Amino acid sequence: MIVELSFGIAAAVLLAYALVCAVRLGVGPTAADRAVALDTINTLVVAIMVLVGAAFDLMIIMDVALVYALLSFVGTLYIARYLEEGLR
Amino acid sequence: MTLWASLLTMSLVMTVVAGFLAVVLRDLLAAALALGAQGLFLSLAFYLLQAPDVAIAQAGIGAALTTAIFLLAIRKTRRKEEE
């Protein structure tokens, strides 16, 4: 009970951090700010998925976090490639 | 309100916030990034509703691949939206 509660509270705190990063995604003056905010949100959501899977004791659904941790790299890679050569 | 319900509520609220940003922002690169964040929070909502295969599809296609395709399209066209 106490382990579940602490994992869940940690997930809620990380979700609040993701809200702060979403504010930066909205008001960020340059495109690099927004790219870093989106990448931070990616990492926070992967951590939230792992914490929720541990809190509800559902180890079978934790592979979503694995797949997304692999796939978010591709999105960040395309954003970085665009910022490097395609900024007009 | 249980912990699960509050997590689900927070992720749905952030889905709405990111979707609003994707509509409002005039810079198309920023709008594409906000759309990626919206797909990501929607994937988190699917995950909390214990639909892991839907969450995998939403995260892979909706968040990662769609952002990459939009960025390739913005590269071929203009970045700023005209009034």
Q: Which residues of A touch B81 (CB under 8 A)?
A: none
* pLDDT tens digits along B18-56: 899 889 888 888 888 889 889 888 988 998 888 888 888
Range of the domain at A72: 2-87
Number of domains in chain A: 1
pLDDT of B28 = 85
Asked if the ipTM is above 0.90, the reply is no
Are the C-beta atoms of B67 and B33 separated by less than 8 Å?
A: yes
- Taking only residues 45 to 74 of chain B, the set having a beta carbon closer than 8 angstroms to any beta carbon of chain A reads 47-48, 50, 52, 55-56, 59-60, 63-65, 67-68, 71-72, 74
pTM reported for the whole predicted model: 0.87
Helix B66-76, helix B28-48: angle, nearest 10: 170
Do residue A34 and residue B7 have CB atoms under 8 angstroms apart? no
Do residue B7 and residue A8 have CB atoms under 8 angstroms apart? yes
Q: From residue A27, how far is each of A11, B18, B27, B47, B55 by CA, in Å?
A: 25, 12, 12, 28, 28
